[in-house]
């Protein structure tokens, strides 16, 4: 009798273990069928950063289409669906919940706005859903290290440090008086923090640090305070539209010092919004290796003209923020290929971690490891002079 009870109990344990294993395997393969891999794009299609939305959406759709036309990945086609984060934490969280629990995506691609990333990180980790971030740069998104989060663009803390390295190498011999204006948004605030720390290592103390709220359009008050300290160099940390307006208003106020922007200098939109006079002797980094109209980016521009003729009628398109999510999706695809036909989320993560110096004809190299999911530690620097933007060299942190 005891033996019978023991046998029944053993069978129950075995079936319980099998059930647990089945659930685990189902989670690992969520979003995968024999014919399809479901990838969710996250982008601010509405809200204060809505100009970034189409950049992520276009990139994901085109990259998926090209992969599918080439036969897919191990016989599976990519299905790419979009979620609108609105550059708002609660809106972004609602979009991610829907895509995890209702749509059942395998992984996420894209994301702009660091505060949205901070809001969704706990859910991604709880549900063990990987994401490849292609635009949001706030360094806290990957601090502490997360098994499920990868990034294919320079984080803000590295951006701030590289700005200081650039200043030291190119400008410090002539200039020592600097000021900073930055957005309160987490990503830009962290860029400022890293920049100030690195500048102090070089013996430079900013004369003024001014802040503004995301969505502000009048920066006169902050710029007048900066003008009082007579800086030789002004660092501007914000989104592209903000930085363009700040540069323009600074010029109108007679604050005609050298400017170093967070990014976007090589975008036609920046020049169009600010004007060439406001951007004279302005410097800035980008993940792409040439200006958009340059020879090295020609193939990307032609590809977008063919696929998105209406989008490309806008003279401000494309920009480096079009290239970034496209290359990010290529990195995802490489991870999916390396993971093999028996695809799971764990195998996909391990495959991404095996990528070293991923090369693109348009983009700085990307590398991951099991302990480092920040894919980039370098940026190409550009200078605007006479209304023309030219590359001047790649800066890298060792």
Predicted confidence band at 187 (pLDDT cuts at 50, 70, 90)?
confident
pLDDT of residue 269: 81
pLDDT of residue 83: 98
* pLDDT mean over 360-380: 96
Three-state secondary structure call for residue 378: strand
Average pLDDT of every residue of the chain: 92
Structure tokens at 325: 């999510």
pLDDT of residue 24: 44
Predicted confidence band at 31 (pLDDT cuts at 50, 70, 90)?
very high
Is the entire prediction scored with pTM above 0.75? Answer: yes
Strand partners, 179: 208, 234
Q: Which of 62-71, 133-142, 257-266, 386-395 has the highest mean pLDDT?
A: 62-71
pLDDT of residue 16: 44
Structure tokens at 351: 């495959």
pLDDT of residue 398: 64
CB-based burial of residue 209 (10 Å sphere; 0-12 exposed, 13-18 middle, 19+ buried)?
Answer: middle
Structure tokens at 303: 């590809």
Is pLDDT above 60 for 184? yes
What's the CA gap between 178 and 169, in Å, rounded? 15
Where does 35-118 show beta strands of DSSP type E? 36-43, 77-84, 107-110
Predicted confidence band at 396 (pLDDT cuts at 50, 70, 90)?
confident
Fold exhibited by the domain 157-286+381-396: Rossmann fold (3.40.50)
Sheet holding 258-261, edge to edge: 208-212, 178-183, 233-237, 258-261, 282-286, 378-385, 388-396
- Cα 279 to chain centroid distance, Å, stands at 24
Kindly report, residue by residue over 155-175, the tens digit of the pLDDT: 988 999 999 999 999 998 899
Same CATH fold assignment for domains 36-154+296-367 and 157-286+381-396 = yes
Q: Of all residues in the chain, what percent carry a pLDDT higher than 70?
A: 93
Is the CB of residue 355 less than 8 Å from the CB of residue 335?
yes
In the chain, where are the structural domains located? 36-154+296-367, 157-286+381-396
Is pLDDT above 60 for 389? yes
Predicted confidence band at 61 (pLDDT cuts at 50, 70, 90)?
very high
Is 36-154+296-367 assigned to CATH 3.40.50.1970?
A: no
Kindly report, residue by residue over 63-122, the tens digit of the pLDDT: 999 999 999 999 999 999 999 999 999 999 999 999 999 999 999 999 999 899 999 999
What's the CA gap between 269 and 239, in Å, rounded? 12
* pLDDT mean over 117-141: 95
Predicted confidence band at 150 (pLDDT cuts at 50, 70, 90)?
very high
Q: Which of 136-145, 224-233, 385-394 has the highest mean pLDDT?
A: 224-233
């Amino acid at each position: 009798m005891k033996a019978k009870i023991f046998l029944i109990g053993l069978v129950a344990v075995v079936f319980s273990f099998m059930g647990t294993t089945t659930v685990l395997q189902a989670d690992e393969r969520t979003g995968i069928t024999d014919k399809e891999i479901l990838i969710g794009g996250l982008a601010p299609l509405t809200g204060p950063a809505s100009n970034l939305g189409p950049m992520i959406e276009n990139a994901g759709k085109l990259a998926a289409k090209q992969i599918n036309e080439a036969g897919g990945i191990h016989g599976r086609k990519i299905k790419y669906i979009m979620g609108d984060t609105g550059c708002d934490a609660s809106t972004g969280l609602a979009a991610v919940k829907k895509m995890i629990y209702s749509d059942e995506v395998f992984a996420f691609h894209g994301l702009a706005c660091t505060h949205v990333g901070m809001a969704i990180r706990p859910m991604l980790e709880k549900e063990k859903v990987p994401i490849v971030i292609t635009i949001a740069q706030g360094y806290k998104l990957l601090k502490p290290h997360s098994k499920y989060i990868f990034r294919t663009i320079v984080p803000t803390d590295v951006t701030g440090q590289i700005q200081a390295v650039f200043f030291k190498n190119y400008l410090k011999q002539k200039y020592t008086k600097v000021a900073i204006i930055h957005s309160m948004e987490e990503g830009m605030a962290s860029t400022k923090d890293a920049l100030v720390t690195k500048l102090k290592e070089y013996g430079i103390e900013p004369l003024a640090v001014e802040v503004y709220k995301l969505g502000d359009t009048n920066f006169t008050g902050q710029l007048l305070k900066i003008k009082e300290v007579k800086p030789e160099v002004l660092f501007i940390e914000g989104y592209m539209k903000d930085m363009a307006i700040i540069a323009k208003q600074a010029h109108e106020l007679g604050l005609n010092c050298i400017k170093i922007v967070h990014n976007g200098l090589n975008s036609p939109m920046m020049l169009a919004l600010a004007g060439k006079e406001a951007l004279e002797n302005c410097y800035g980094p980008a993940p792409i290796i040439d200006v958009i109209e340059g020879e090295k980016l020609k193939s990307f521009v032609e590809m977008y003209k063919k696929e998105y003729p209406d989008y490309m009628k806008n003279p401000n398109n494309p920009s480096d923020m079009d290239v970034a999510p496209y290359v990010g999706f290529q990195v995802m695809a490489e991870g999916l290929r390396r993971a093999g036909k028996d695809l799971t989320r764990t195998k996909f993560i391990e495959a991404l971690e095996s990528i070293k110096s991923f090369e693109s004809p348009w983009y700085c190299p990307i590398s991951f490891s099991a302990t480092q999911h920040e894919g980039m530690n370098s940026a190409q620097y550009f200078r605007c002079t006479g209304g023309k933007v030219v590359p001047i060299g790649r800066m890298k942190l060792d």
